[in-house]
């Protein structure tokens, strides 16, 4: 009788585990799919700690310092690894309509590397958030012995 109960409960346990494991698991898109095939427009840029403004104050909202002709520019990430920087309708004087560079992810897709047209250095960003409609990147730059962390937020267009 004990064997019959043990067999019965074992069967229930296995069946319960089997049926709960069969739930519909929606596959999450990978970061390359989230990043590519769309235009990204910067909507915010900030720095911590604030940068001295030369008048005794500090600048934390970097985006507010950008001229309006920069605020409508777009980034477009294409496969394989093509970065396009597109000037918006209100192009700044001296701008070209587009620049081409390259992009890549680190193996764990937590870092985004950009090589911009005309530059030999690679810009390194940590990917803080990446969804189908929002991208947030961070980078740190050292200036006069101070590490400044810049956070850039982009919205899908």
What is the pLDDT confidence band of residue 5, given thresholds at 50, 70 and 90?
very low
- Please give the tally of structural domains in the chain: 1
Q: For residue 27, give both structure tokens.
A: 């596959």
What is the pLDDT confidence band of residue 132, given thresholds at 50, 70 and 90?
very high
Would residue 15 count as lying in a domain? Answer: no
Would residue 11 count as lying in a domain? Answer: no
**Residue 134 belongs to domain with CATH number:** 2.40.128.280
| Nearest residue to 135 (alpha-carbon basis) of 50, 33, 26 | 33
Question: pLDDT (tens digit, 9 = 90+) per residue, 64-120?
Answer: 999 999 999 999 999 999 999 999 999 999 989 999 999 999 999 999 999 999 998
pLDDT of residue 7: 41
Question: pLDDT (tens digit, 9 = 90+) per residue, 18-52?
Answer: 444 545 566 778 999 999 999 999 999 999 999 99
3-state DSSP call for residue 34? helix
Domain limits at 46? Answer: 26-156
pTM: 0.81
Would residue 113 count as lying in a domain? Answer: yes
Whether the upstream peptide bond of residue 80 has omega within 30° of 0, thus cis, is: yes
Would residue 10 count as lying in a domain? Answer: no
pLDDT of residue 27: 76
The two counts, helices (H) then strands (E), for the chain are 2, 9
Q: For residue 156, give both structure tokens.
A: 């899908």
């Amino acid at each position: 009788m004990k064997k019959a109960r043990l067999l019965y409960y074992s069967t229930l346990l296995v069946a319960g585990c089997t049926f709960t494991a069969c739930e519909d698991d929606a596959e999450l898109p990978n970061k390359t799919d989230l990043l590519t095939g769309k235009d990204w427009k910067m909507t915010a840029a900030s720095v911590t700690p604030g940068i001295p403004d030369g008048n005794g104050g500090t600048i934390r909202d970097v985006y507010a310092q950008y001229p309006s002709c920069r605020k409508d520019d777009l980034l477009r990430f294409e496969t394989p690894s093509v970065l396009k920087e597109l000037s918006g309708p209100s192009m700044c004087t001296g701008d070209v309509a587009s620049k081409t560079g390259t992009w890549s992810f680190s193996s764990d897709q937590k870092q985004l590397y950009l090589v911009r047209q005309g530059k030999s250095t690679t810009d390194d960003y940590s990917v803080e958030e990446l969804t189908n409609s929002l991208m947030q990147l961070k980078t740190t730059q050292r200036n006069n012995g101070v590490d400044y962390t810049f956070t850039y937020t982009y919205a899908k267009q």
